[in-house]
Structure 1
Amino acid sequence: MSDFYFGSDLLGDLERVQRQMSALFGNAPSSIRSSRTDAFPQLNIGSTEESIEIVAFAPGVDPAALEVTVDKGTLTISGERKPNDKGASGETRTYAKERFHGAFRRVIELPQNVNPDKVEARYADGCLTIKVGKREASKPRAITIQ
């Protein structure tokens, strides 16, 4: 026999607490790894010996509507995606819409070893690729043994 008695459905209570915790903390990601899956644009972030590379997947965004800034150790991507009403006649009533449109802003904290003076951005095929160069002192170098 168990010494514990639960007067209600334990799994139901745990599910309720999980929903409350998700509602409380769900909109405040602590890093890119914990960001919401519906954040726009979605990002891939990687590193080479020469640079930090960020790819923002922004199909349907006019490159002229994008802005990339680097300030105080953060990189900000902002812009706006216009609604796409192609193919919708005046008689069509929308009952489901999954494509995001509107203003957006993503902020990425950069590592300390980047050089904010060496930033390149290129938009092609719906992808914004940003390369932030690393400082010379942070790059690996071979040491000659004497």
Structure 2
Amino acid sequence: MFRTLFPSDWLAELDRLQRELPRFGGAAGSIRGSGRSGFPALNVGSSPNAIEIYAFAPGLDPASIDVSIERGVLKIAGVRKSELPQDDAKNTVHINERFAGAFHRSVNLPEGADVEQVAARYVDGVLHISVKRREVTKRRQVAIQ
């Protein structure tokens, strides 16, 4: 009876559903990330001085990429054009594995990020965004009188 209600490898099915869920909900990924899906592929890391985001987007015109920060969320958006001919009566596309179309990725920045000190550069298909951290104030002892 239970064999028909539950797949044999229910943990694998649960993992697949969890990876596909952000695609439907539109939820922003955290700085830690939630999966390995979407275009462009992202690497996010941090140091005591900055948060470093690398977006792997080969073949894009840097002018077609929009990078913005709103309410602590870094957004990368743009459009990747297809280089294939239109699939019509004259042309046939046999294999098309490269993503084409509008894309959007989001990363929640940590509380200490200084959104006024952001640098972005695009070199060899990699968009590197560096968000500096705010100067952390040292703990101060308050004297009681």
Give the structure 2 partner of residue 107 of structure 1.
106
* Residue ranges of structure 1 left out of the alignment (5+ in a row): 1-6, 141-146
Identity of aligned residues (%): 36
CA distance in 1, matches of 2:58, 2:116: 27
**Residue aligned with 1:55, SS:** strand
CA distance in 2, matches of 1:104, 1:40: 6
Equivalenced residues, count: 130
Cα distance, 1:24 vs structure 2: 7.3
Amino acid in structure 1 at the alignment position of 2:20? G
1:97-126 deviation digits (Å, cap 9, x = unpaired): 110010000010000001010000000100
Give the structure 2 partner of residue 120 of structure 1.
119
1:43-88 deviation digits (Å, cap 9, x = unpaired): 01111221100000000111010010011111000011111238xx
Rg larger in structure: 1
TM-score (structure 1 length as normaliser): 0.73
TM-score (structure 2 length as normaliser): 0.74
Give the structure 2 partner of residue 82 of structure 1.
81
Give the structure 2 partner of residue 44 of structure 1.
43
Give the structure 2 partner of residue 3 of structure 1.
none
Give the structure 2 partner of residue 13 of structure 1.
7
Q: Judging changes above 3 Å, is the alpha-carbon distance between structure 1 residues 25 and 55 closer, same or farther for their aligned structure 2 residues?
A: closer
Q: Judging changes above 3 Å, is the alpha-carbon distance between structure 1 residues 55 and 84 closer, same or farther for their aligned structure 2 residues?
A: same
Cα distance, 1:95 vs structure 2: 2.6
User: Which is worse superposed, 116-125 or 47-56?
Assistant: 47-56
Cα distance, 1:26 vs structure 2: 2.1
**Residue aligned with 1:64, SS:** helix
Q: Judging changes above 3 Å, is the alpha-carbon distance between structure 1 residues 40 and 50 closer, same or farther for their aligned structure 2 residues?
A: same
Cα distance, 1:25 vs structure 2: 6.5
RMSD value, Cα: 3.2
Task: Work out which of the residue numbers 16, 21, 28 in structure 2 matches 1:27.
Answer: 21
CA distance in 2, matches of 1:21, 1:33: 15
**Residue aligned with 1:14, SS:** coil
CA distance in 2, matches of 1:46, 1:80: 25
**Residue aligned with 1:26, SS:** helix
**Residue aligned with 2:7, SS:** helix
Q: Judging changes above 3 Å, is the alpha-carbon distance between structure 1 residues 130 and 17 closer, same or farther for their aligned structure 2 residues?
A: closer
